C-alpha cells in the first residue's frame, strides 16, 4: 500500500481499479482515495455489518462494484443506494427494495437474491412510471424458486400491461456499460429467449422482461431496457 501511494504521487495519477482482499485495504482506500473507478472484493473479506456500512457510506465506486458473499448475520439490511454505475453482488440478502429503487445504477446483477417476486413487480412498476430507476439499463436477479414457475411469473407481471413477443423483437444482443468518457467498460450479453414480455414507458423506452430456469429450482429474472431503432 505504501508503494502504491508512492507510485500515485510520482506519476500524479489516481488509482483506477483495485481488488480488495483484506479488510485493512478498505480503511486504507477510504483514507487514501475515497472515490475510485472500480472495486472488486472477493468472498469473505467483509465480516461485519459495521464494515459493510462504513465502506458503502465512505467509498464511492464510480463505474463498477463487484462484491462476493459477506460473512455477516443475514438479518442485516441496507436502505441506501450503492453509488456505482454497475453492481454485481453474490448473496445480496442485505440489499433491500428501497436501496434499488432510490439508486442511479445502470446495471444491477444480484446472484442468489432474496427479493420476492412482488419486489420485482414493484421495480417494474416504478420503472414504467419514470420517477425512479431512470438510468437503469439492465437488471438480472438469480434466486431460489420457492414458488411454482408459473406462479412466480404471474406475481412478477401482476397488474402490468405487457405485450408478449415471440421470437426476435430487435432487442439488442448486448448491454454496454460505459465510463464517463464514453469508453466501453463492459458488454454483458443477456440470454436469448423465445418469448419476452415488453413493458412500454411513456418516453418510448422498452423494458423487456424474460426469465430462464435452471435445475428446476433456480430462476434467472432479466429486465433489459432499450429503444427501438427508427
| Average pLDDT of span 143-169 | 87
- The closest alpha carbon to 41, from 23, 58, 59, belongs to 23
pLDDT band for position 230 (50/70/90)?
low
pLDDT in tens, 1-19: 999 998 988 988 999 999 9
**Measured at the alpha carbon of residue 74, what is the angle toward residues 116 and 17, in degrees to the nearest 5?**
90
Give the containing element (helix H, strand E) for 214: strand 206-214
- Let me know: does 96 contact 77? Beta carbons within 8 Å: yes
Q: Which three cell numbers stand for residue 74?
A: 443475514
pLDDT in tens, 174-199: 999 998 889 999 999 998 888 999 99
Q: Where are the beta strands (DSSP E) in 42-158?
A: 60-67, 86-90, 107-111, 138-144
Judged against a pLDDT cut of 80, whether residue 104 lies above it is answered with yes
The CA distance from 210 to 37, in Å, is 31
DSSP 18-41: EE--SHHHHHHHHHH-SEEEEEEE
| Average pLDDT of span 102-115 | 95
Give the containing element (helix H, strand E) for 211: strand 206-214
- Let me know: does 130 contact 206? Beta carbons within 8 Å: no
The CA distance from 205 to 203, in Å, is 6
Amino acid at each position: 500500500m505504501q508503494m502504491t501511494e508512492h507510485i500515485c504521487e510520482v506519476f500524479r495519477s489516481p488509482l483506477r481499479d483495485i481488488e480488495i482482499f483484506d479488510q485493512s485495504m478498505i480503511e486504507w482506500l477510504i483514507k487514501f482515495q475515497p472515490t475510485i473507478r472500480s472495486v472488486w472484493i472477493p468472498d469473505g473479506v467483509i465480516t461485519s455489518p459495521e464494515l459493510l456500512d462504513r465502506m458503502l457510506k465512505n467509498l464511492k465506486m464510480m463505474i463498477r462494484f463487484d462484491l462476493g458473499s459477506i460473512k455477516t448475520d443475514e438479518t442485516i439490511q441496507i436502505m441506501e443506494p450503492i453509488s456505482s454505475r454497475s453492481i454485481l453482488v453474490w448473496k445480496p440478502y442485505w440489499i433491500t427494495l428501497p436501496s434499488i429503487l432510490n439508486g442511479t445504477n445502470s446495471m444491477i446483477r444480484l446472484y442468489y437474491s432474496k427479493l420476492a417476486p412482488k419486489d420485482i413487480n414493484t421495480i417494474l412498476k416504478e420503472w414504467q412510471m419514470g420517477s425512479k430507476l431512470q438510468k437503469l439499463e439492465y437488471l438480472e436477479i438469480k434466486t431460489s424458486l420457492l414458488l411454482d414457475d408459473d406462479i412466480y411469473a404471474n406475481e412478477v407481471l401482476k397488474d402490468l400491461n405487457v405485450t408478449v413477443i415471440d421470437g426476435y423483437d430487435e432487442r439488442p444482443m448486448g448491454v454496454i456499460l460505459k465510463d464517463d468518457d464514453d469508453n466501453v467498460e463492459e458488454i454483458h450479453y443477456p440470454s436469448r429467449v423465445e418469448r419476452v414480455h415488453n413493458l412500454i414507458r411513456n418516453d418510448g423506452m422498452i423494458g423487456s422482461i424474460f426469465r430462464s430456469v435452471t435445475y428446476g429450482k433456480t430462476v434467472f429474472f432479466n429486465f433489459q431496457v432499450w429503444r427501438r431503432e427508427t
